[in-house]
Structures are given as C-alpha cells and as structure tokens.
Amino acid sequence: MSAVRPGHEHEYEYEGRYGYGPEGQSEPAYDPLTDPVPPDRQGSPWFRATNIPPTEDSAAPDFGATDMTAPAGPQQEPQEWPALQQPLNATEEPRHDWYAAGAAADPVTASLPAQAPAPGQEQRRTPVSDPILVPDDETVALRTSDTRRAAQTPPGPGRAERRRAAKSRGRRRASAAPAATPAAGEPGKPLSRVEARRAARAAKDSPAVIASRAIGELFITFGVLMLLFVTYQLWWTNVLAGQQADKAANKIQDDWAKGRKPDAFEPGQGFAIMYIPKLDVVVPIAEGIDKQSVLDRGMVGHYGEGKLKTAMPEDKQGNFAVAGHRNTHGEPFRYINRLERGDPIVVETQDTYYTYEMANILPQTSPSNVSVISPVPEQSGFKEPGRYITLTTCTPEFTSTYRMIVWGKMVEERPRSKGKPDALVG
C-alpha cells in the first residue's frame, strides 16, 4: 500500500508488510514517472487500480468500488500523472486535480469558510494518511472538527516572538527589583543615581532635627525628674517626717517617765509636745530652729539661741516663740491661718500643761521682722508684758517669701498630776 509522506522526496513508498517484499521490510522508494515498472508488480491489483490515468475533468476514482481481488487486465504502460496544483505555501503538500475536485465535491468541507494564514504563522493542512481510501463519515467529522478548531483558535505569535517577549519580561523584572522609589509625581519611573542620592540625603535627619530631638528628650527627662521631685517633696517628705516626729514624741515621753530633768536642752533635743485641737495637730517641740535637725524632721523648733532667744513656757513672763513648716516635712503649721480668737493651743511639758488662747494673726510680714517674737510682740495687740506664745511659718504656701504670725495668751497652767486640761479632754 502507498501513502503520502510529508518531507519525502517521492510521493510513494512501498512497505513490505503490505504484500511486497519480506514481512516487516521496506523497499526503495518508487517513482512511477521515472522508474520502470518492475515485471513482478505490473500485474498486482494495486498497480492496476492506481495506474488508471484519470482524466482532467474527472473526479477522484472510487477505489472502494474496485475489486482488489479481481484478476488483472491487460497490462498497460505507466502513464504520467496530471500536473500538480500550485501549493498554498511552502509547507503545504501538493495536491492532484482529482483530489482537489473530490475535496470540492465534499459538501461538509465545501461549506466551511476559507481560512487565510495568520501573519507570521504558516498555514498547514492536515496531511492525508492514505489518499487511496475514500473518506468516510468519521473522517469527514474529524476534518470538520479540526477546521472549526483552527478557526476558533486565535492566531498567536510565533516561537521567535514568544522567546523575545519572555526575554524582555525577564529583563523588566530584573530591572524593577532593585529600582529606587519613584519620584513624586512620576509613579513607576526609576530614579537616576543623582536623584537616588538626593532622596537618600533627604531621608536622613538633618542636624536641626537631631538637635531638636535631643532637646526634647532633655525636656522630657527634666519633666520626669521634676515630677519625681514634687512627689518626693509633697508626699514622701511628709511620710518620713511623720515617722521621725512620732519617734521624737515617744522619746520625750520616755524621758518624762524616767524622771530626767536636764538643766538645759541641747539643740535638736525635744522637750515638750504641742496640741492644736482644732487642727488635730500633735507635734513635738525641740530646741532650736535648725532646718535639717529640727524642722525637716517634722518637729516644731523653739527660738532659744543667740539674739532670737525667747522665753520658755514655765517662765513667769515672756514670749514663747516657735517655728514650723507650713508645707512638706510633716507641715505641722499647714492650716494655722484657720485659727480664730479663743481657739486653744496647749503645750505639755514634763510637769505641766500650759493652755493658750489664740489672740491675733498677722497674715504676712517680712522674714527679717524679728519684732514679732519680742517679749511684747509688735502688731500683736498686747500692750504690756505677759505670758505669750508666738507661732511663725512661711507664706504663701509652697514658698518662703514671707512669714505668717499667730499670737496667743496663756490662760491656764495645769500640773500633769491633775490630768489633762479641758481643751484636750473634749
């Protein structure tokens, strides 16, 4: 049997397994136009069927109707085949006139629209595996489906174009990976080297920004330290001073219980306890007005040294003057501005309770005005010598610019053996 083989030099090729030659072996190609017909093949049915010269106007012979088993007729000389039609392109195989006529006669194939070759893509036709066989319904259906699929498939670029496109996409991805950030107003455009340097310099903090940050951090640190200091002054110093004042009061009472009566009190030594019932104040009194050893320890200090020395409570005449903090460090005199005339102020010593009544107040005076603690204090309203008490503290609150003065006059002297005075019992 013969078949059209694309790419072969000759149209026909004989294979031994179809009855010519040993089983499974191929014979040399045979060209009926130039090669003489071998004598042992001139009488074969195939030769008789395929060498009937078709006419120019006739269609393809119906090989299915030929009886391949009938005896061969008179031998005929091989005749030349009709001229081949011009192929559509360089890759299309030539077709005979009778094959073209048969294809045109096929109603299914003739009804399909002609497909022009796409630009850049060569049109190929499905080679016929065996032109001798008459196309049946299945073959026609396959041809129709192939034709329709080819019509539906959009033409695409060739292999060379696809390779070039892939290479260009790879280059674009490689160049886009390390690209710098696009400049403002030009999205997607890579920056030049100069623009990249400018952008890097702009991203760095300037010396002014660094200095402002350092100053801001210093201010924040300073603010935190100030907050801690204020917390220490307003809260923690009161806690510490309260503990120290309680210890001093307990020590004074222990000395009284043991009967110790010193002739003179050393600076910082506690010797009495003051009560201000209206303000709920109970505070020990120590000798001297030293800030660190007396006042900052939550105690009240007695003016008893140098030029500022004043009388003691047991003296029959004089002014018993003391000082204390209004804010921080226990702040025993925080609210003495609330005292009114007649409010009691009690001083307890080892043997006696001395009760004073508030007489007058000086809201503000200079720290250098020492006349307020004289035996007969000025501006106190007292006109003659007597037994007086003077309380001094700083004003306004949380400052030491001025001094606030409160005066009182003794109204009762009660031995401790007789019990507490009425101001403390109530």
Amino acid at 219: F
**pLDDT in the model for residue 202:** 77
- For the chain, helix, strand, coil in percent to 5 are 35, 15, 50
pLDDT of residue 58: 47
CATH ID of 240-425, from 2.40.30.10, 3.40.50.1820, 2.40.260.10, 1.10.10.10: 2.40.260.10
Burial group, residue 203, by CB count within 10 angstroms (0-12, 13-18, 19+):
exposed
Long-range contacts of 149-153 (CB under 8 A, 24+ apart): 150/115, 151/112, 151/113, 151/115
Residues 125, 93: Cα–Cα separation, whole Å: 8
- State how far the Cα of 420 lies from the Cα of 201, in Å rounded to an integer: 83
* Rounded Cα–Cα distance for residues 280 and 129 (Å): 124
Q: How far is Cα 189 from Cα 182, in angstroms, rounded to an integer? A: 5
Q: Taking a C-beta distance cutoff of 8 angstroms, is the pair 353, 365 a contact?
A: no
224, pLDDT greater than 90:
yes
Note if 325 is an active site residue.
yes
Q: Which of 326, 334, 387, 394 is catalytic?
A: 394
DSSP string, 276-325: EGGGTEEEEEEES--TTTTGGGT-EEE--SGGG----TTSSSEEEEEE--
- Highest mean pLDDT among 2-6, 186-190, 390-394 belongs to 390-394
pLDDT at 175 over 80: no
Residue 302 a catalytic site member = no
The rounded Cα 287 to chain-centroid distance in angstroms is: 64
Identity of the residue numbered 343: D
Cα torsion 201, 206, 207, 211: sign? negative
Q: Please tell me the predicted confidence (pLDDT) of residue 127.
A: 47
- Residue 183's pLDDT band, with cuts at 50, 70 and 90, is very low
* CATH 2.40.260.10 residue ranges for the chain: 240-425
329 flagged as catalytic: no
Which residue in the list 326, 334, 403, 414 is annotated as catalytic?
403
Average pLDDT for residues 32-54, to the nearest whole number?
A: 55
Residue 17 has pLDDT above 50, yes or no: no
Of 60-69, 209-218, 257-266, 336-345, minimum mean pLDDT range: 60-69
Exposed (0-12), middle (13-18) or buried (19+): which is 283, by Cβ within 10 Å?
buried
Distance (Å, whole) CA 319 – CA 102: 148
* pLDDT in the model for residue 21: 44
Residue of 325, 329, 387, 414 marked catalytic: 325
When the pLDDT of each residue in the chain is averaged and rounded to a whole number, the result is 75
